[in-house]
Amino acid sequence: MKRTSTYFPKPGEVPSNWRVIDATGQTLGRVARDISVALQGKDKTSYTAHVITGDFVVVLNAANIRVTGKKMEQKLYYRHSGYVGNLKTFKLADIMKNRPERVIELAVKGMLPKNHNGRQMLRRLKVYAGDTHPHQAQVAANANEAEE
């Protein structure tokens, strides 16, 4: 009887592609879910939990993200310096006004693993408030490889 074995890809064996996601009009949680799946590589057949098999993700138009209900005024983000009494509170509307990229980064960060691989995956996320980005060469190279 032949024994079959499961193949586990080693680090560097799975090629990383570049994906561009336009967040215009999309709901925050749903686009964050799609981004985290792409970063982890869970939509690939070669997915392995202990190896980063995901892609690089470029998110455009983060300032045009949509939230439902009264989240814009009621959703709070917290930051603590570690000193007593130094808990800072920020509303979603304030963060969207100053740094809209941060909202998507925080949403995706909460969906990634809380370990070394999760931090490595988060580095592969590039978020921009507008519709331009400096990664045209990588995205174009990725498109050329896909055509071949």
Question: What structural domains does the chain harbor?
Answer: 18-67+99-132 (3.90.1180.10)
Check residue 70 and give its pLDDT. Answer: 97
Question: Measured between alpha carbons, how far is 21 from 57 in angstroms, rounded to an integer?
Answer: 7
Check residue 64 and give its pLDDT. Answer: 96
What pLDDT digit, counting tens, does each position of 90-112 carry?
999 999 999 999 999 999 999 99
Q: Angle of helix 116-123 relative to helix 100-109, nearest 10 degrees?
A: 150
Convert 26-70 into a string of H (helix), E (strand) and C (coil).
CEHHHHHHHHHHHHHCCCCCCCCCCCCCCCEEEEECHHHCECCCC
How sure is the predictor about 148, in pLDDT bands with cuts at 50, 70 and 90?
A: low
What pLDDT digit, counting tens, does each position of 29-68 carry?
999 999 999 999 999 988 999 999 999 999 999 999 999 9
Largest CA distance in the chain: 67
pTM: 0.91
Reply yes or no on whether the pLDDT at 142 is more than 90.
no
Question: Measured between alpha carbons, how far is 83 from 13 in angstroms, rounded to an integer?
Answer: 44
Check residue 1 and give its pLDDT. Answer: 65
Average pLDDT over residues 61-85: 96
26 vs 9, more confident: 26
